[in-house]
Structure formats: structure tokens, C-alpha cells
Amino acid sequence: METFKTFMSTEKNKNSDVLQQETIHWSSYTDKDLALCKKTIRHLHGRMNTSLDVKATDYDKQIVLADIKYGGIYRPRDCKQKDSVAIVIPYRDRIEHLNILINHLHAMLQRQKLYYGIYVVEMSLPVQFNRGLLANAGFMTAQSIGTYSCYIIHDVDLLPLNDFNEYKCSPNNPKHLVTKNSKFKNDALPYTDYIGGVLALTTEQYYRVNGFSNLYFGWGGEDDDMHLRIKARNFTIVRNAEHIGVYLALPHNGDSSNPPNPYRDLLLQQGAYRMNVEGLSSISYIRKSLEFRQLYTWVLIDCVESEIMSHYSNLRISGKDYIKKNKIRTHSKHYVKNSNLHVASKLRVNRPSRLLRRQIVRRT
């Protein structure tokens, strides 16, 4: 019998839909006698329809809820998968997208007969959003809960439209699962080396590249930095045929707590030099919460931007300068905290969404 590790959280369970202490027993799955799952197209639909009107309480009828363990972990009953996949979703304040994606993914991944778990990794306010750091924190958390062999870092606003797009890693190289994305002109990827959106790495590949950089606070750069790491380790990027990796991008505005990072080009210039010492091996964060929700595991992460940046004195701008030059963005954080509209208009920062404002009020 296989047992997932037991997890404890310090917070009390306030919600009956949430388990905060969980031991997952697969006793009903004595898979000794099961044959390996075959790649079969019998269960697949090809191009899928998708519902964009999903609320947390609506479950897609195709989801076999009974078979999903708390924390969003699933495994087929009628065959054995030797690989297990953790889907890691960096997240903040996009609940409508999250509901749509989670429902859509469970339906598709079950049809693909995968053994998988879904991890939503949220960045606590008021820190600037940091997709790379969240991916690393998700990797570490998922690894400490299960024994996954493949990690798929997944944007919350991208829906796979063809279920032949198998959510598995490629053994020899990282795999970019996106071949077409409706947010780009003609759905075409903006450049060959683009690996944004949905990226699959085996555990070994993730360690080889030392994960994502943790230094990209705000929007942009972390995926190009990952590409530099992949190249530096002599990996190439593999993709499916063009008609397979088709994604629908859900529309959204810019996020006030994720403004474009003005230092991303500078950080990128030195990205490959830093990769041995900066990334998974150097990550520092606080896990404020961990909940095994019905359809996914939710992790809340906090970190201190100035502390993370100040370790990198060999950045061309020193950590201290970075913080000084970063004043504008620090101000924008104050804005988010204080709802100071005057400063906001001067800095051209978007007004935070209603949901975000409510959260801010609650937290300050």
C-alpha cells in the first residue's frame, strides 16, 4: 500500500471543504495486478469544448469526484501509471480563471488516465507577484507531499483545447506544452525560444536547471531566464505538433500588484551566470498556509523582496541600489496598501481590483 506523507498545518480547519491534516491511503488501489496504462485515444475527444461559466460549486459532470482525493490528487482505477504529475499553478486574485481551469484540467487529465495532483501556489499580499519563486515553492511543496516524477508549471489563464496534449514530461528535455495561444497574433508563439504559459520538467530536469530564478518580482522575464538555464544545461525545448498544444487565453487586465519589472533585462543579462547559486538551491520563503481542498492543494507563500534581492551583491546593480531604484515600485506597493489614488495616477498604476482591495483592507 502506498501512503502519501502526512501533513500538518498550524491553522485550524475552518471550512468543512478543507482538510488541513491528511494522510492519503491508496488502500483501495492495490495496483499490483493492474496493467500499465496504455496511451489510448479511445477516451480522448481531440478538440474540446469548454465551459467558461464555472463557479466553485459547479463541477464538470465529467469529473469523477469520488475518485479525487482531498488536495486534488487522482489516480486511475483500472490501470497503473508509472509516472505521476504535479500541476503547479502560480496564483493571485484570479478566482474566476482558477475555477474554470481546475474543472477543465480534472476532466481532461482523467480522460488521459494520468496519476496527478494539482497545487495552487498563492503569493501573499503585499509582496509583488513572483511567478518563478511560486513555481519553486510549489515544486518543493508538491515534492514533500507526494513523489511526483513530472512537474507542469501552469498559468491560471490558459486552457488546453485539445486533449491529445498529454500532460506528461518528456524524459530527455523540458517540454513546452503550448504550440498555439489565442492571446498572440494568429495564435502564434511570439518567438521560437518562448516557453511561457505551460512548461513540463521532470524532477531531474528541474534540479539540473536549479529551478526558476527567484529574483523576478513583477511581470516578465522569469520564463526567458528559465530558457537560458535550459540552454546552459544543453537541453533543448520539445513541443508537440502545432495542432495539439492549442490554448485558449482567458482575458484579463494588468495586475496592480504585478507591474512590469523594469529590471528584467538586466537580470536576464546575468541569468546564466547566476544559475548555479540562485534558484531552487537558494529559495527563501515562508509557507503561511497549506490546505487540502477538494479539487486542489492550496499553498500560501510569503517572502521579503528586499531580503531576497540583497543577497545578490554581484548583480550589476547592488542589492541596495536595487532597492533604492526600486522605490517607485515600493511606492506602488504602498499605494496598494494605502489606496492612495494620487500616487497611483502619478505612477500610472492600475487601480487594484475590488477583490484585491477587499483583501488589502482585511490584511492592513
What distances in angstroms separate CA 223 from CA 105, 230, 268, one per listed residue?
22, 10, 10
Stretch that binds ligand UDP, among 52-60, 85-93, 108-116, 288-296 (CB under 6 A): 85-93
> Cα torsion for 98, 20, 73, 120, to the nearest 10°?
30
Residue 91: name its binding partner from ligand UDP, Mn ion, none (Cβ under 5 to 8 Å by kind): ligand UDP
The residue from 90, 126, 279, 352 that contacts ligand UDP (CB under 6 A) is 90
Handedness of CA 276, 309, 325, 361 (dihedral sign): positive
Tell me the residue type at 312.
Y
Position of cell 494620487?
A: 342
Would you give the binding string for ligand UDP spanning residues 211-240, x where CB under 6 A is met?
A: --------x---------------------
Q: Does 119 bind ligand UDP (CB under 6 A)?
A: no
The residue from 157, 166, 223, 291 that contacts Mn ion (CB under 5 A) is 157
Q: How far apart are CA 110 and CA 67, in angstroms?
A: 10
> In angstroms, what is the minimal distance from the CB of 186 to Mn ion?
18
> In angstroms, what is the minimal distance from the CB of 327 to Mn ion?
27
- Tell which residue, 247, 250, 164, 236, has the closest CA to residue 205: 236
Beta carbons within 10 angstroms of residue 78's beta carbon: 9
> In angstroms, what is the minimal distance from the CB of 256 to ligand UDP?
8
Chain residue whose CB lies nearest Mn ion: 157
Nearer to Mn ion, 184 or 273 (CB): 184
* Count of residues in contact with Mn ion, rule CB under 5 A: 1
Residue 92: name its binding partner from ligand UDP, Mn ion, none (Cβ under 5 to 8 Å by kind): ligand UDP
* Count of residues in contact with ligand UDP, rule CB under 6 A: 16
Q: Does 255 bind ligand UDP (CB under 6 A)?
A: yes
Q: Does 155 bind ligand UDP (CB under 6 A)?
A: yes
Burial of 162 (0-12, 13-18, 19+ CB in 10 A): buried
Instruction: Give the three cell numbers for residue 60.
Output: 464538470
Position of cell 502506498?
A: 2
Stretch that binds ligand UDP, among 1-9, 30-38, 107-115, 252-260 (CB under 6 A): 252-260
**For residue 259, is the peptide bond before it cis, meaning its omega torsion is within 30 degrees of 0?**
no
Q: Does 156 bind ligand UDP (CB under 6 A)?
A: yes
Q: Which residues contact residue 130 at a Cβ distance below 8 angstroms, ignoring those fewer than 6 apart? A: 123, 214, 216, 217, 218, 222, 303, 305
Nearer to ligand UDP, 81 or 261 (CB): 261
Nearer to ligand UDP, 46 or 190 (CB): 190
> In angstroms, what is the minimal distance from the CB of 156 to Mn ion?
8
Q: How far apart are CA 189 and CA 220, in angstroms?
A: 16
Nearer to ligand UDP, 76 or 117 (CB): 117
> In 3-state terms, the chain is what percent helix, strand and coil (to 5)?
30, 20, 50
Residue 104: name its binding partner from Mn ion, ligand UDP, none (Cβ under 5 to 8 Å by kind): none
Interface residue list for Mn ion (CB under 5 A): 157
Q: Which residues bind ligand UDP (CB under 6 A)?
A: 89-94, 129, 131, 155-157, 196, 219, 255, 257-258
